[in-house]
Amino acid sequence: MMKNSRTLLAAAAVSTMLLVSGCSAPSPASSGPSGTSTSSTTDAAPEYAATLQAKIPEVMAQNAIPGVVVKILSPEKGDWSATFGTAELGRSVPMSMDDFFRIGSNTKTMTSTIVLQLVGEGLLSLDDPISKFRPDVPGGENITIAQLSEMRSGLVSYSFDPAFNAALDEDPQKAWTPDELLAIAFAYPANFAPGTQYEYSNTNIVLLGLVIEQLTGMSASDAFQERIFEPLGLKNSSLPEPSDATIPSPHAQGYQFGSNLETIDSYAVPADELPAALDGTLAPIDQTDANPSWAWTAGGAISTPDDLAVYVKALVGGGLLDDAMQKIRLDSVQPTVAGQTGGVGYGLGIAQFAPGILGHDGQLPGYSTFMVYNKNTDDTIIVGANLSASPVDGETAAVVVAKTIIAALYGASVVPTSNPAAPETPPAG
C-alpha cells in the first residue's frame, strides 16, 4: 500500500492470526442486502455468501466506505462475486465487477517480479549493490537489489516528506519524475543500516523501476506490458506513463478523508470529527483524477478485479518466474518484526498474511485494493474499495473488508496488532 495512496501495503503489515478450518458444503443462496449485487458460478450461492452479504455492509457503514467489489474463487467452497454500496457519493451509482481501480502498492509486486525475471536471465543479481546502477544513492554500495525489494534498505520513503505532501495537495495533476522523488528521499539520512530491519519505503521500488528501464531499454510501462500483462492475458491492466492521470471507464469515484499533508502520520480522522465522517456530514476529498505519477513503479498501476485474480494466482502459485526463482521468492518471506507470530511477513515484493496466504494490498488517494492467493486451498480473494482508508483507525479500507472475508472463509480469528508494511503515507500506491 502507500500512504495516502502512498503505499501501505498494510497487508503484509497487518499482523493477524488465521485459524484455517475445514471446507463446508454450499447452501442455498440468501438474498443480499439492499444496494448489493451478487453472483456465483453455481445455482446455489456458497455457504459463506450469506454471512458476507450481511457482514460487509456493516463493516462499510462502520468505516464510511462508499463502495466495494469482492471476487472470491474457491474450488472447494465455491466462487462468488459481489458489489456493495455506491460508486459516487450523493448518488445511487452501483459499483461494477468491471470497474477499473488504481491498485497502489500491488504494483510493487509487479516491479519486483520483473526484477526477478532479469535475475533469472542473468542480467542482474540480487546481491548487486544499487550503486552499480545509481551511484548517487547514499550508501548505495552497501544496499543490494534484494534489500530494496524486501524493504530492508534503510532508505527513507519520499512519501513521508511534508513539503512533498503539500505539493501533492497544491498541484494534484503534477507529473513527477523518478529523479524528483529520489532527490526528496536522499535529502534524509538512512533510518538504519541495510539489512538490519524492515521498513516499507516507496523509494526502494522507484529505484528498482529505474533499474528495469536501464536493463530492458524500455519504459517501465512497456516492460510491465511485455513481461506481465501480455503473458497473462491481462487486457485491462496498465502502468500509465507519468503524464497520464486518467483512469479508464467504468470506474468509481475515489475518496480520501483528509489531505495528503494532514494524513502523513495516519489516515484516521481526528476524534472530534469522526462522528461527522461516519454519518456523512464530513465529506471525503474526491481524489479520482489526482495524478499517481508520484507512486510510479511503487504504486501507479491500474487493473480490474478479474485481472487481479489472474495475476495474484501467478504471483503466488507460479507462472511468471521459473520454478527455481519462484522458490527463491517464496522462501524470502520473513517476519516484518523480529519474533512476530501469526505468519505475517514480507519478502521479495510479496506479502504473507498467514501461512500459505500471500499477495499484497494497495492504497492510493481515492482507492484501495487487496489481493491474495491461498497456496493450501487454491482460493483467491480480491477486494476493491473507492476509499483510501478507514477514518476510524486509518487502516486501508480494502484490508478492513478483507479481514471479514478471511474470517468467513476460514473460521478465522483475526487479531490486528500492527502494520509492518508501514503506511505509505503520502500518496503512493
Per-residue tens of pLDDT for the chain, all 429 residues: 565 333 333 333 333 333 222 232 222 222 333 366 655 444 579 999 999 999 999 999 999 999 999 999 999 999 999 999 999 999 999 999 999 999 999 999 999 999 999 999 999 999 999 999 999 999 999 999 999 999 999 999 999 999 999 999 999 999 999 999 999 999 999 999 999 999 999 999 999 999 999 999 999 999 999 999 999 999 999 999 999 999 999 999 999 999 999 999 999 999 999 999 999 999 999 999 999 999 999 999 999 999 999 999 999 999 999 999 999 999 999 999 888 877 889 999 999 998 899 999 999 999 999 999 999 999 999 999 999 999 999 999 999 999 999 999 987 554 334 333 444 333 334
Predicted confidence at residue 5, as pLDDT, reads 34
CA atoms within 13 A on the CB side of 76: 11
Predicted confidence at residue 36, as pLDDT, reads 63
Predicted confidence at residue 39, as pLDDT, reads 56
Strand order in the sheet with 334-335: 36-40, 80-85, 67-73, 379-385, 367-374, 357-364, 351-354, 345-346, 334-335
According to DSSP, the residues that pair with 373 across neighbouring strands are 358, 380
- Please choose, from the candidates 233, 208, 80, the residue with its C-alpha nearest in 3D space to the C-alpha of residue 147: 208
The span from the CA of 31 to the CA of 24, in Å, is 20
Burial degree of 195 (CB within 10 A; 0-12, 13-18, 19+): middle
The span from the CA of 56 to the CA of 45, in Å, is 16
Predicted confidence at residue 412, as pLDDT, reads 55
Structural domains in the chain, sorted by start: 10-410 (3.40.710.10)
Angle at 403 between CA 234 and CA 116, to 5 degrees: 40
Q: How many CB atoms lie within 10 A of CB 127?
A: 10
Predicted confidence at residue 400, as pLDDT, reads 95
Predicted confidence at residue 3, as pLDDT, reads 52
Q: Tell if the pTM clears 0.75, that is, is over it.
A: yes
